[in-house]
């Protein structure tokens, strides 16, 4: 019986799981892994910082629906993955992170580049493993992929001591899944689904609140079918954008702190909220005691811990969104529901009037370069057929407000953790997963500087992402809060003149374009999309441009600040 090393076994197991691309950075304790990778046909994207590997793997998973994989060495290499792992955990993204570790006999001795990776990542992973016996390696890898991708998706860490990587194992050793206590509920309780149908049938002012779980469960088709046939308007969370086509009249777009006024008003006036694959997070609910005060809540989620955690739920349905929506459709449309649909039509007309009355807006007559105008032009030039990644801050909100998302897996952003520096490595991961698509990072000048070394990753790996940099010379969102709530005391938020971004991208071998005039925007975007290289457009926008509408911290979402 032939023997192979543990590192070779890892490669074999990754191929058995269908892994085609991994993101990583080598170091001492993963040299055996990289030596085995040398003979493999798995594509490796060499990042310039391990955090970039985790974010790229995260985005790759979001755009493809597969499990993303990242690799780092022990100690600082592993701890550099932590922010990206936490980001995937908060946003329920399936990734497997493989980290090197010191030899098993050295664990606990403070050996060179030792860190307690399983201890550090326990609160921010769905599960993690320290491989202590090489015979368990195939089963651990198989279980890791299964756990990451089933139920509520999330990150799994496999910490591999170097003596496990260099040890020998039978080549035909097979992994088995032995998780007797892990049984995610996929099918919803039929009694509760029946109750939900009755609630929907009798409601006059219902809304669907669609979250990232709709996208991760591939339930966008079912949600869209149900909403359109039942004539129920749809509000999305930030991560739910694209789960329902925003060009449909029933789309109320994003709600919450920087959501649309009509979406927030719909929540406030609704008599029924049907939450699907969503967490009801604080950026959406605002002052919790005044969130959806007149509504009963039906909450569909695969994670029972989320149901009732934030809002009082009258009908909880634990299950996979796709399966539950299929059952809802079947039950609801078996009934004679013409009266039910007619009962909702006044509500729909009312919300359509609100959409006309309170559109997202900006000063379109201004000669100055407005970020909303830039995002609208990106949408027009791409015809909505692009993958949009964002950093975190004002750029993220402008992208969410003014680009129209009609398909799932087309908006990639850091939601729960709000990680600055996410967008560029996310764009790299998205382009690796979907090379057929234009991939655009709508960025801020503060956020992108946290990961600007990843420009080298994009160029050297021939992943021609396009960075649309909204450059206002400030840490924009923090500055906005300082303006509105701290008397314009701009403490440590001005970063003007720190870097010439055109020269920076050119130094990495990419293409830089600077735009200061409104009439140059469309041409620059078209030019960038035609160039087969990484391109950064440095758009100089107004320094004190704010994101509106906005709900002040602690206020109910029915009270929104707007342009002065």
CATH of the domain at 262: 3.40.50.1220
- The SS3 call for residue 109 is coil
The answer to whether 135 touches 9, Cβ cutoff 8 Å, is: no
Digit-coded pLDDT (tens) for 369-417: 999 999 999 999 999 999 999 999 999 999 999 999 999 999 999 999 9
The answer to whether 420 touches 450, Cβ cutoff 8 Å, is: yes
Which pLDDT does position 563 carry in this prediction?
A: 77
Q: Are residues 516 and 472 in the same domain?
A: yes
Tell me, letter by letter, the H, E, C secondary structure of 182-245: CCCCCCCCHHHHHHHHHHHHHCCCEEEEECHHHHHCCCHHHHHHHHHHHCCCEEECCCCCCCCC
**CB half-sphere exposure, 464, CA atoms < 13 A:** 13
What is the domain range of residue 463?
A: 371-540
Which residue's structure tokens are 């950026």? 283
> What is the spatial distance between Cα 526 and Cα 547, in angstroms, rounded to a whole number?
26
Q: Are residues 165 and 210 in the same domain?
A: no
Q: Are residues 66 and 100 in the same domain?
A: yes
> What is the spatial distance between Cα 386 and Cα 263, in angstroms, rounded to a whole number?
25
* 248 confidence band (pLDDT: 50, 70, 90): very high
Kindly tell me if the per-residue pLDDT of 82 is higher than 80. yes
Per-residue pLDDT averaged across 67-95, rounded?
Answer: 98
**Beta strands at 296-301 and 315-318: parallel, antiparallel or unpaired:** parallel
Q: Which two tokens stand for residue 449?
A: 């500087």
Q: Is residue 364 part of a domain?
A: no
Which pLDDT does position 61 carry in this prediction?
A: 98
Which pLDDT does position 564 carry in this prediction?
A: 64
Q: Are residues 152 and 221 in the same domain?
A: no
DSSP 256-313: STTS-HHHHHHHHH-SEEEEES----HHHHBSGGGSSTT-EEEEEES-GGGTTTSS--
Q: Is residue 111 part of a domain?
A: yes
Q: Are residues 205 and 352 in the same domain?
A: yes
| Percent of the chain residues past pLDDT 90, beyond the cut | 97
* 335 confidence band (pLDDT: 50, 70, 90): confident
Q: Are residues 337 and 420 in the same domain?
A: no
Alpha helices per DSSP H over 451-538: 454-460, 476-485, 501-507, 521-530
Q: Who contacts 500 (Cβ-Cβ below 8 Å, separation ≥6)?
A: none
Angle at Cα 515 formed by Cα 513 and Cα 518, nearest 5°?
145
> What is the spatial distance between Cα 421 and Cα 55, in angstroms, rounded to a whole number?
9
Which pLDDT does position 235 carry in this prediction?
A: 98
Which pLDDT does position 338 carry in this prediction?
A: 86
- The SS3 call for residue 444 is strand
Q: Are residues 396 and 486 in the same domain?
A: yes
Q: Is residue 317 part of a domain?
A: yes
> What is the spatial distance between Cα 450 and Cα 421, in angstroms, rounded to a whole number?
5
Q: Tell me the Cα Rg of the chain.
A: 24
Q: Is residue 366 part of a domain?
A: no
Kindly tell me if the per-residue pLDDT of 60 is higher than 90. yes
DSSP H or E run through 169? strand 168-170
Boundary (domain end) residue, out of 120, 142, 170: 170
In the chain, count H helices and then E strands: 22, 20
DSSP H or E run through 469? strand 466-471
> What is the spatial distance between Cα 83 and Cα 46, in angstroms, rounded to a whole number?
18
Q: Is residue 69 part of a domain?
A: yes
Q: Distances from the Cα of 117 to the Cαs of 10, 13, 105, 113, 492, in angstroms?
A: 19, 22, 16, 11, 33
The answer to whether 274 touches 285, Cβ cutoff 8 Å, is: no
Q: Are residues 348 and 312 in the same domain?
A: yes
Q: Are residues 100 and 215 in the same domain?
A: no
Per-residue pLDDT averaged across 537-549, rounded?
Answer: 96
- Which CATH number does the domain housing residue 426 bear? 3.40.50.970
CB neighbourhood size of 368 (10 A): 13
Digit-coded pLDDT (tens) for 199-245: 999 999 999 999 999 999 999 999 999 999 999 999 999 999 999 99
Which residue's structure tokens are 């029972």? 304
> What is the spatial distance between Cα 277 and Cα 232, in angstroms, rounded to a whole number?
17
> What is the spatial distance between Cα 129 and Cα 110, in angstroms, rounded to a whole number?
20
Digit-coded pLDDT (tens) for 129-183: 999 999 999 999 999 999 999 999 999 999 999 999 999 999 999 999 999 999 9
What is the pTM (predicted TM-score) of this model?
A: 0.97
Q: Are residues 158 and 267 in the same domain?
A: no
Q: Are residues 348 and 379 in the same domain?
A: no
Domain count along the chain:
3
Q: Where are the beta strands (DSSP E) in 74-145?
A: 95-101, 127-130
Q: Is residue 28 part of a domain?
A: yes
Average pLDDT, the chain: 97
Tell me the CA end-to-end span of the chain in Å, nearest whole number.
77
Q: Are residues 202 and 319 in the same domain?
A: yes
Boundary (domain end) residue, out of 311, 329, 357: 357
Q: Is residue 197 part of a domain?
A: yes
Which pLDDT does position 504 carry in this prediction?
A: 98
The answer to whether 468 touches 443, Cβ cutoff 8 Å, is: yes
* 334 confidence band (pLDDT: 50, 70, 90): confident
β-bridge mates for residue 388, sequence order: 411, 440
Boundary (domain end) residue, out of 296, 326, 357: 357
Measuring CA to CA, which residue among 513, 143, 186 is closest to residue 326? 186
Q: Is residue 365 part of a domain?
A: no
Calculate the dihedral angle through the C-alpha atoms of 19, 25, 27, 32, rounding to the nearest 10 degrees.
20
């Amino acid at each position: 019986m032939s023997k192979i090393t543990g590192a070779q076994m890892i490669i074999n197991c990754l191929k058995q799981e269908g892994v085609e691309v991994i993101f990583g950075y080598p170091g001492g304790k993963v040299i055996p892994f990289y030596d085995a990778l040398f003979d493999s046909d798995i594509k490796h994207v060499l990042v310039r910082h391990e955090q970039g590997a985790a974010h790229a793997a995260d985005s790759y998973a979001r755009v493809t629906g597969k499990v993303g994989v990242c690799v780092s060495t022990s100690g600082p290499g592993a701890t550099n993955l932590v922010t990206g792992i936490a980001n995937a955990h908060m946003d329920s993204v399936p990734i497997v992170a493989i980290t090197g570790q010191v030899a098993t006999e050295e664990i606990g001795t403070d050996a060179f580049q030792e860190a307690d990776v399983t201890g550090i990542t326990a609160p921010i992973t769905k599960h993690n493993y320290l491989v202590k016996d090489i015979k368990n390696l195939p089963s651990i890898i198989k279980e890791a992929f299964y756990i990451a991708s089933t139920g509520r998706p999330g990150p799994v860490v496999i910490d591999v001591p170097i003596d496990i990587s260099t040890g020998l194992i039978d080549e035909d050793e097979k992994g088995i899944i032995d998780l007797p206590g892990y049984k995610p509920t996929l099918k919803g309780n039929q009694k509760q689904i029946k109750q939900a149908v009755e609630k929907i049938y009798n409601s006059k002012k219902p809304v669907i609140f669609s979250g990232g779980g709709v996208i991760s469960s591939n339930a966008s088709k079912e949600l869209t079918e149900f909403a359109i046939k039942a004539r129920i308007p749809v509000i999305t969370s930030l991560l739910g954008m694209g789960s329902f086509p925003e060009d449909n009249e029933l789309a109320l777009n994003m709600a919450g702190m920087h959501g649309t006024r009509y979406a927030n008003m719909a929540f406030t006036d609704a008599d029924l909220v049907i939450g699907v694959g969503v967490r009801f997070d604080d950026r959406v609910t605002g002052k919790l005691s005044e969130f959806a005060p007149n509504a009963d809540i039906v909450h569909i989620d695969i994670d029972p811990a989320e149901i009732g955690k934030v809002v009082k739920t009258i009908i909880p349905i634990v299950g996979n969104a796709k399966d539950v929506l299929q059952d809802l459709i079947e039950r609801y449309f078996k009934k004679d529901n013409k009266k039910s649909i007619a009962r909702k039509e006044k509500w729909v007309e009312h919300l359509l009037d609100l959409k006309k009355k309170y559109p997202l807006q900006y000063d379109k007559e201004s000669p100055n370069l407005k970020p909303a105008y830039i995002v609208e032009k990106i949408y027009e030039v791409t015809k909505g057929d692009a993958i949009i990644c964002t950093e975190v801050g004002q750029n993220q909100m402008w992208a969410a407000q003014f680009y129209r998302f009609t398909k799932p897996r087309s908006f990639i952003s850091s939601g729960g953790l709000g990680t600055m520096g996410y967008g560029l490595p996310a764009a790299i991961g998205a382009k690796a997963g979907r090379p057929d698509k234009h991939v655009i990072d709508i960025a801020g000048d503060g956020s992108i500087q946290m990961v600007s070394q990843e420009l080298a990753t994009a160029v050297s790996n021939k992943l021609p992402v396009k960075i649309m940099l909204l450059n206002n010379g400030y840490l924009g969102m923090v500055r906005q809060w300082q303006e509105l709530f701290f008397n314009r005391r701009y403490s440590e938020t001005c970063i003007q003149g720190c870097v010439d971004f055109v020269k920076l991208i050119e130094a990495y071998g990419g293409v830089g374009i600077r735009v200061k005039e409104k009439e140059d925007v469309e041409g620059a975007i078209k030019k960038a999309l035609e160039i087969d290289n990484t391109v950064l457009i440095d758009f100089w926008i107004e320094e004190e441009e704010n994101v509106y509408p906005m709900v002040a911290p602690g206020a109910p979402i029915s009270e929104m600040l707007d342009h002065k």
